[in-house]
Structure 1
């Protein structure tokens, strides 16, 4: 029995005494169980707003899901990895056929965990990563724009992106576009966080959100809940602008100033002018914290996502430096964080493959300018969708943004990177797949306008864009083929027709295509004799078997220009010969004639069959009709001479430590090495002694 039961009038602990000493008054009702969750309402609201475009992108990507022949090039390399043969396309030849290094390893890891067909895994990852990239893009845009406007924010950039069919198509396809979208979204989100943290740690704001918006309830973090979105600390935490993250990007003296612990002086008003006494965006000489190094690390991954994204990563890293303004020593640490993994992989690539870039870059001669074909590729992307209309409207709208606010590094970096990306794609001659290489640039251009404050002007632009988007999504479509001289295809449409499936995803769907290679491979397997399957020109609708060289130790070597399909029907332990050079070093290193820029991009260097016969058969082997024996003899001799013999050894000799070092030291000269495509000329040039 307690003392409270012995003494009835005794007041229990925590029981309030009524006024005047009377009996206790009524107790307050218990707090609802969900009340602690109410503080997350701003975060949930922002997540719902950013999630809308992401969910629509996921739906459109799933509805148009497919895998093309180039996607199957990745899946053969993935299957070789899972079989323990290493990152190669063919056993016994170290060739890097995958342009997207991270994508190759990501699909391999997911396929290992799920035990599913790698092509199905690639489609699922592409859709999810596209949705994640769009979510991060909108979330970052809202955080970037909110400091200088409390008005509702319109996702105009997403309206443009989601109306373009190429954007839906390459959410899947088996290629690395989904990973590209996710990397761009994450990179910009981290850049915006750096900018928000820099302003917070210096005690500065950017306009309306630095003050209490009309009718809003002030919070301890100094934010306000304005119309159309939350400016509270929890809202900014959810979208990358946390007030408490002021020390996450810096740990110097300036980093100790946190919102809610002192007065905040707006750095930029609505006019964009710097307020008197306002501190710079980031304190010069500050020490970057762990999150700054993490941001630099992610931005540095660009060349591993796609080699051409190194340009985008460089622009974003420059913007990060402008936001943080670290001391030289700290800047070197940031650079080290950015280049550590790409540099390490480059050492591996040079020692393992013997060259500095993936083979597709050599096969397509990415260092050569082909402006005419590149501009034709850009026109094939822009004209069907009338892209000049939304781009003109949004460019005119950007002119009316507050001057200093629009010049913030995190807002300038994406459009600058997008324009440079488009310029580079045009310089290298584009691609043969409609819009694939231009969609990332369009995303970059749209990032800053994924959250535009509502006004009469922006409302009118939004209405015009909505009409354009409806026409674009329902009426305007690219042609199935651009025709001559520069062949550009709507690949998603083509593969649904070729395979007879509305969603050609699995490898089995592609293997059933009525192509002559599959029955030829089956016949060779049944015969049990090692053979080289060589297509008979000009139609290549049948194959002639030639005795395969004994030194190779394979049963079948099949030559076919549809490399992805070839990689499916040719067993992993045998050789899928690529006469176009995407996975065949000998073909990739031949010189491209200046006039060979028409047709499909990346298909301008077909290897003379004499080289394939010389490489894969023994001397004295019977030759098919129409193949000149003198050219085959010249090719055999050239393969034993000088740098061409060294090229063959760099990818086929056993990878000993000594071979790795020789590959590493010779990678630069080997990457630039080209030989004449004519065997007689090559013999004359390489075997002079």
Structure 2
């Protein structure tokens, strides 16, 4: 005779009172929830506290704020008024800071700091929630299982992760986007019948990837391909998915090409992001891995994953049986199986791990970066997300000793990860990191803390204590007629090349030519033109050829003679500094008349009309690839121009 619902309830209640299976299951479930919630809270607090303890805003982070200031002032998304240059790599970060700055009216440095702390903390929490959902789906019905914080502890323990949790750069937004995409993809793969709204929401978030950082198009493309090709999607939903995912990035890309005359941010042109420097890349990898023995926690967590996979009884047939089954299956059935396999947790895990490897390979190929660890943080985060938490299954009474052995092994491996995290978190970071050595890599936070004298340089004024900055402000105040400011070897003086007479009412304006764009541009008014020899905000420098043996991230150097010619300042001695050559300046003036160079420069400096927008749109790729020689004489020869007569 079948039991009624009341009979079942009575049995459960009786079992609970007597300490039976229902009671034990309820207790195990409560313990599991308590451990997981505690782990998430503790990890989130550690991320917030670690980021706050190392809070700062880098010089490169201040570059973003110059563009935001221009947006707020109504000058458009530009670095210098009248020059359409996208000097920030992350489009979404720029407009996020702009939006919150406009809404709150708060000082921009504090807007950035608040956003960074929230996004960095939310990233580790969201990643843990996604991984917990993955394991709960996989281990459903497997009894009491503790989900212990692991991968996110490793990430937080690495000093650069806490350094760039603030910094004013988009690192916080990058890891938050990765974590959010992970959670959404896990939900999609573990939901029996995903709703259209959920699928479209996931597609929209994935589509934002290239606007977070251009290389995140790798993750976005793979995720969207999985969503589009999965077996249970209707063609109507697929079409809607493409529209939703592409509306913002494609629309912005069309606008970017027409407005800026480039298919990607100007930073990619200035750093030649398509170039290959594998040797420097592997040196950069060692610079991150070696100081913290980072291979050790990765190995421990890999062993945890291997133990979990090899001891799981779920999944049915063995690998050998599956291979033999596939060998005897026709192509149409294989295609159907492949489509079904796309919407599985295993596929999502492979997607995240594979994306981490691809991002790491890209970073190594371009030579890494000059900031210790920064560009390898997103790949590291991707690799750690699937083990953000790890499952420790509590053996039940009466289970064989093997179950206790497995639990003990997982516990020991997890404890080893925690011990390593405590060790790494206590290190100071890169050895002698505040000094730029042979590799060109530096601990950026330590460098600026030492050179500004501020443990936490955040406000633009904090950088006035950096060499040359107060002298720059004084030089601008002391030259009301305007001029070109060139840095000297002295830390307290600038050379000022004056403008030609007659001086217009109000002066001819100032141009500052210096490597550190952030601190210079945030400590000067918006009507002061700030440009750099690398070309981050200066197209003329960005389109020069890359120096093969230059410092990574700084391997373009434009001679100041070009700037004198380009800015129209006095081009003869004694008004020129002694280290500038009148002939070189005259040759630069002629070289700047090269028709191809003029067209490229006018794409961002000429008045934006509809014909210019269309020309930029159709020639953006061509403009991005254009390069000229930084030696004026050779550039005149390359362009077939007439050499000016010597002035001597």
Cα deviation digits, residues 454-474 of structure 1 (max 9, x gap): 022211111111221121112
2:179 maps to: 185
Select 2:446's aligned residue among 473, 493, 498. 493
Cα deviation digits, residues 120-158 of structure 1 (max 9, x gap): 211110110011111110011100111222411122112
Instruction: Report the CA distance between 1:110 and its aligned residue.
Output: 1.0
SS at match of 1:666: helix
1:680 maps to: 633
324-333 vs 454-463, which moves further: 324-333
1:651 maps to: 604
SS at match of 2:485: strand
In the alignment, is the contact (CA less than 8 A) between 1:546 and 1:617 conserved in 2? no
2:375 maps to: 437
Select 2:273's aligned residue among 351, 361, 366. 366
Question: 1: distance between equivalents of 2:555 and 2:253?
Answer: 27
1:550-629 matched pairs, under 5 angstroms? 554-596=508-550, 599=551, 601-618=552-569, 620-621=571-572, 622-629=575-582
In the alignment, is the contact (CA less than 8 A) between 2:206 and 2:245 conserved in 1? yes
In the alignment, is the contact (CA less than 8 A) between 2:189 and 2:345 conserved in 1? no
2:338 maps to: none
Instruction: Report the CA distance between 1:503 and its aligned residue.
Output: 1.6
Gaps of 5+ in 1: 1-39, 202-248, 251-288
Question: 2: distance between equivalents of 1:313 and 1:617?
Answer: 45
Is residue 403 of structure 2 the alignment partner of residue 452 of structure 1? no
In the alignment, is the contact (CA less than 8 A) between 1:98 and 1:358 conserved in 2? yes
Gaps of 5+ in 2: 1-29, 316-343, 393-406, 643-648
In the alignment, is the contact (CA less than 8 A) between 1:78 and 1:107 conserved in 2? yes
In the alignment, is the contact (CA less than 8 A) between 2:467 and 2:491 conserved in 1? no
1:409 maps to: 347
407-416 vs 514-523, which moves further: 514-523
Instruction: Report the CA distance between 1:677 and its aligned residue.
Output: 1.2
Select 2:170's aligned residue among 173, 176, 188. 176
Distance change (3 Å), C-alpha of 1:319 and 1:448:
farther
Instruction: Report the CA distance between 1:619 and its aligned residue.
Output: 6.7
RMSD: 2.5
SS at match of 2:157: coil
Distance change (3 Å), C-alpha of 1:516 and 1:476:
closer
Distance change (3 Å), C-alpha of 1:83 and 1:650:
same
Select 1:519's aligned residue among 465, 471, 478. 471
SS at match of 2:522: helix
Question: 2: distance between equivalents of 1:167 and 1:574?
Answer: 35
1:292 maps to: 199
Cα deviation digits, residues 204-238 of structure 1 (max 9, x gap): xxxxxxxxxxxxxxxxxxxxxxxxxxxxxxxxxxx
Is residue 623 of structure 2 the alignment partner of residue 633 of structure 1? no
Select 2:618's aligned residue among 665, 673, 683. 665
SS at match of 2:527: coil
Question: 2: distance between equivalents of 1:466 and 1:619?
Answer: 64
Instruction: Report the CA distance between 1:401 and its aligned residue.
Output: 3.4
TM-score (norm 1): 0.77
Instruction: Report the CA distance between 1:612 and its aligned residue.
Output: 0.7
Cα deviation digits, residues 24-70 of structure 1 (max 9, x gap): xxxxxxxxxxxxxxxx9999986555333122211111111101110
Question: 2: distance between equivalents of 1:527 and 1:382?
Answer: 49
In the alignment, is the contact (CA less than 8 A) between 1:377 and 1:429 conserved in 2? yes
TM-score (norm 2): 0.82
Question: 2: distance between equivalents of 1:371 and 1:327?
Answer: 44
Distance change (3 Å), C-alpha of 1:98 and 1:468:
same
Distance change (3 Å), C-alpha of 1:427 and 1:328:
farther
Distance change (3 Å), C-alpha of 1:492 and 1:524:
closer
In the alignment, is the contact (CA less than 8 A) between 2:470 and 2:492 conserved in 1? no
Instruction: Report the CA distance between 1:407 and its aligned residue.
Output: 6.7
Aligned length: 559
Cα deviation digits, residues 589-643 of structure 1 (max 9, x gap): 10113333xx3x2211110111111101257554221222222112111211121
Q: Which has the larger radius of gyration?
A: 1
1:70-89 matched pairs, under 5 angstroms? 70-89=60-79
Cα deviation digits, residues 65-95 of structure 1 (max 9, x gap): 1011101111111111111111111111111
In the alignment, is the contact (CA less than 8 A) between 2:81 and 2:526 conserved in 1? yes
In the alignment, is the contact (CA less than 8 A) between 2:535 and 2:556 conserved in 1? yes
In proportion to residue count, which structure has more helix? Answer: 2
Question: 2: distance between equivalents of 1:545 and 1:397?
Answer: 63
Distance change (3 Å), C-alpha of 1:65 and 1:517:
closer
Distance change (3 Å), C-alpha of 1:553 and 1:645:
farther
Is residue 138 of structure 2 the alignment partner of residue 148 of structure 1? yes
1:320 maps to: 227
Question: 1: distance between equivalents of 2:453 and 2:158?
Answer: 24
Select 1:468's aligned residue among 403, 420, 423. 420
Question: 1: distance between equivalents of 2:626 and 2:475?
Answer: 38
1:339 maps to: 246
Distance change (3 Å), C-alpha of 1:451 and 1:435:
same
